[in-house]
Chains A and B, each alone.
Chain A
Amino acid sequence: MQDMFRFGTRLLVAATALLLVQTASAAQGSRSVIEGSKAYGLDSCVEPTPLMRKKHYAFLKHDRDITVHQGIRTVKHSLAGCVDCHAAKDDTGKYVPVTDEGQFCQSCHEYAGVELPCFSCHSATPTQATKAGD
């Protein structure tokens, strides 16, 4: 994690530099990751961003079965992992549910008109220090 973080920061710096040059790229210009989330400090998702945008549901579903039935917890696309990384902390340092208005998962789904059934069961905030992915 540490390494990844450092690597990420470095990449971020590089990317920002790149951004300054490549002003044309609107998609990168307005990052949708939320300030205050771990993801905000990172450069990339568990898969390349365009792939994530398109296929995250398929990834989740695939890895869900692996986790639940085979017990493998080191999968890349864990729902707990998404929440852990994408949930933002507010000013008081408390996690904001990813399903709240304007939050990472919610804002995009609202735009896309997708109802997520997942968070009726799954916690929309990290409730414990998740070890997975570290």
Chain B
Amino acid sequence: MSDKIDQKRREFVSVAGLAAAATVVAPGVFLQATAEAEPRSEAVTGKVRYGMLIDTNKCVDGCTDCVTACERENGLDLLKMPEGADPEEWDRQRPRWIRKVKVKDRLTGKVTTLPMMCQHCEFPPCQDVCPTGASFRRADGIVMVDRHICIGCRYCMMACPYKARSFIHEDIDEKLTVAPRGKGCVESCNLCVHRRDNGETTTACQEACKEGAILFGDLNDPNSEISQALRQQNNTELRADLKLNTGVRYRGI
């Protein structure tokens, strides 16, 4: 695999990707004019709370389109195994922002497949435990890491009930402008924050899902598609017992 080709493709995707995606997305996914996208000029506020609704009934077993798209969008596919590393060990150390998980109900035996990522809690345990305040929840509900003050203690990884976070175990040679990344800090899904701040309406994973299983939007806007969908049908919060009020909800589990 050539990196150059990859880079070209990346640039192409960034320009043409949105338009292309708009034509292939499943019906029902609400895609607004991305043309009006403009960088944010005013501070984010709590008027908006970004979240996701994942319909596991639509999620296809064996499909990893969302994972691939996320890794490309956020430069995770640019990571290379350090020379001399054991591939198996390295695979455990390699960062993931989103992953596919398949679960089987203990009682009914029902098998469900779903993507897992940071659940963007309203009361994030990672934020509570972080000694420096690097782990924080932005006013618009995005839970993320300020990697300028992250000391790499990994207490947030201990505390996260969803195992959503990854530590960067090596020096990073290649990175994207929109997704800086370096050795010794913790990171996780930030709902494509660079897209949020550029006024785009989708996340990479939502865009990539041909089944329309991922719905992204503003939970605080009663008229948003996600709010309407949440009202219409039951949805589940993972580890609801912890009362974290997650911003990512699931249907069909």
Q: Taking beta carbons and an 8 Å cutoff, which residues of A are in contact with B? A: 64-74, 80, 83-84, 120-123, 126-132
Contact = CB atoms under 8 A, between A and B. Distances in A.
A84 B39 CA distance: 16
Interface in B38-61: 39-44
A73 B181 CA distance: 19
A120 B196 contact: no
Contacts of A122: 175, 177, 180
A132 B41 CA distance: 10
B199 to A, nearest CB: 9
Contacts of B182: 120-121
Contact of B146 (A69, A84, A123, A129): A69
Nearest to B185: A121
Nearest to B182: A121
Q: How large is the interface on B (under 10, 10 to 19, 20 to 34, 35 or more residues)?
A: 20 to 34
Nearest to A84: B177
Nearest to A125: B177
A132 B182 CA distance: 23
B40 A128 contact: no
Contact of A74 (B7, B41, B175, B196): B41
B177 A127 contact: yes
A127 B10 contact: yes
B101 interface: no
B176 interface: yes
A132 to B, nearest CB: 5
Contact of A71 (B44, B146, B178): B44
Contacts of A127: 7, 10-11, 175-178
Contacts of A130: 177
Nearest to B4: A94
A72 B42 contact: yes
Q: Which of A84, A120, A132 has the most CB of B within 10 A?
A: A120
B147 interface: yes
Contacts of A129: 11, 14-15
Given A128-B14, A129-B14, A123 B177 contact: yes
B176 A123 contact: yes
Contact of B43 (A71, A121, A131, A132): A71
Q: Which of B7, B41, B180, B198 has the most CB of A within 10 A?
A: B180
Given A64-B148, A69-B146, A128-B176, A120 B183 contact: yes
A66 B7 CA distance: 30
A37 to B, nearest CB: 15
B122 interface: no
A84 B178 CA distance: 12
B136 interface: yes
Given A74-B41, A126-B177, A127-B10, 18 more contacts: A65-B146, A70-B43, A71-B43, A71-B44, A71-B193, A72-B40, A72-B41, A72-B42, A74-B40, A120-B171, A121-B180, A122-B175, A123-B175, A127-B11, A128-B14, A129-B11, A129-B14, A131-B37
A121 B40 contact: no
A120 B197 CA distance: 23
